Amino acid sequence: MRSSSPPNLDQFLDQLAHEALPGDRLPTIRELMKRFGASQMLVQRAFQGLKDKGLIDSQVGRGTYFRGAGSRMPAAATVLGDTERAKASATGATASTSVKSVLLLRRSISIARGRVLVEGLQRRLADEGHRVLELSYTDPDHALTVLKGLPRFDACVVQSTFKAIPIALLAALRDKCDVLAVDGAALVGADVEAVGTEWGEPLAAAIALLVQQGHRRIAYASTSHPFLATQLGQRRFEYLQSTLPGVELQAITLGMLPHEDYTTRLVQQLLASAGSDGALPFTALVAWGIEDGALFQRLLAQAGIAVPAQLSVVLLGRTDLANEHADFFDVVGCSVADQVDALHHAITARWADAGTPYGVHLTPVVRRAGASVAPAAA
């Protein structure tokens, strides 16, 4: 019986603790147990080790979160934890018309894409000499409380990550900044810049790739939560169902989100769809929402599903995130770098011309080739 946490678990948590912003939540104990094959006691012991180092804290009603002791403070950027320092930074930033103050507000959640995007945008703005304040929030009420003590900013980028942004929060943000941008294709027809992906086009490209490889029975897995981007993808899927001759498209819907037990439930549904002989009713899968590609690959192998020999897999996601493609999966979607570029352009274009029309900015569709697709067996 092991008496200490697996080294890779300790290293993973230590790295998260030194990269996290104040208020970022830890991954759940259940998630870490599955990812590292550790018992609940060992994960809790690893948490206690972080707490002993002063890297995490717990509060009733708020849960366990990082204290942000290792938060980054790049040159010309401001990553602060108290209102007075934020006020001083933002006031100094507006002293010159060439230097802008930007608030990066993201929801505290263990999604790598959001963290990487905010870091990339922060570096981009800081390299141009702008003052940047990063803040994370647990829920809209928390965000509204934090905003009350902050000064005005020249721009704000808000990242809600699968949660609705209440009208009250949008109104408070509009009062606090001249330019408001949302990470995600969520708002249409508002005086807000929105940057994201419409998943219908990547879905169509992924299915076309599989059809070219001879696959005629293809499943598409996605969430049942009604987001604009995924709903547009679902509409494209239904259209393809009725217009692709000789191709059978099957839908798999999951009532959860990528940062929840999504990957495990998807593999369970794949197994449940198999016949009495263990054969799947499709030869290929297009999967949206896989956050941990290595975990998905391991769970498929444990379930006896050989990729790509038995099942070809294409992920809909970010082509430049190693945690998603795991150096194995074919990925069709967008890149975080393109999303950073699009958000940066939306903000700076409005700074240059306040009369620029508001709208949704869709990122280019790109593909990363992997080893998870093979020609369909005869």
Q: What is the CATH number of the domain that holds 11?
A: 1.10.10.10
Count of domains observed in the chain: 3
| Per-residue model confidence (pLDDT) at position 71 | 40
Is residue 2 domain-resident?
A: no
Residues 50 and 96 in one domain: no
Is residue 344 domain-resident?
A: no
**Which residues on neighbouring strands pair with residue 253, listed in sequence order?**
222
What span, in angstroms and rounded, lies between the C-alpha atoms of 318 and 22?
A: 26
- Segments in the chain below pLDDT 70: 1-7, 21-23, 59-63, 68-97, 109-110, 187-189, 378
Is residue 106 domain-resident?
A: yes
| Per-residue model confidence (pLDDT) at position 68 | 63
Residues 176 and 209 in one domain: no
Distance of CA 21 to the CA centre of its chain: 16
pTM passes above 0.75:
no
Is residue 361 domain-resident?
A: no
| Per-residue model confidence (pLDDT) at position 114 | 78
Per the structure, the complete domain to which residue 310 belongs is given by 200-335
What span, in angstroms and rounded, lies between the C-alpha atoms of 126 and 116?
A: 15
Is residue 13 domain-resident?
A: yes
Residues 330 and 287 in one domain: yes
What span, in angstroms and rounded, lies between the C-alpha atoms of 298 and 294?
A: 6
Is residue 77 domain-resident?
A: no
| Per-residue model confidence (pLDDT) at position 88 | 36
For residue 344, the number of C-alpha atoms closer than 13 Å in the C-beta half-sphere is 20
Residues 209 and 330 in one domain: yes
* Tokens (6 digits) for 290: 């896989």
Residues 89 and 176 in one domain: yes
| Per-residue model confidence (pLDDT) at position 212 | 96
Is residue 347 domain-resident?
A: no
Instruction: Quickly tell me which residue has 């290293």 as its tokens.
Output: 11
| Per-residue model confidence (pLDDT) at position 62 | 54
Closest CA to 86 of 95, 74, 77, 99: 77
Q: Under a CB-based contact definition with an 8 Å cutoff, are residues 264 and 34 in contact?
A: yes
Is residue 360 domain-resident?
A: no
Residues 15 and 117 in one domain: no
- The pairing of strands 366-368 and 330-334 is antiparallel
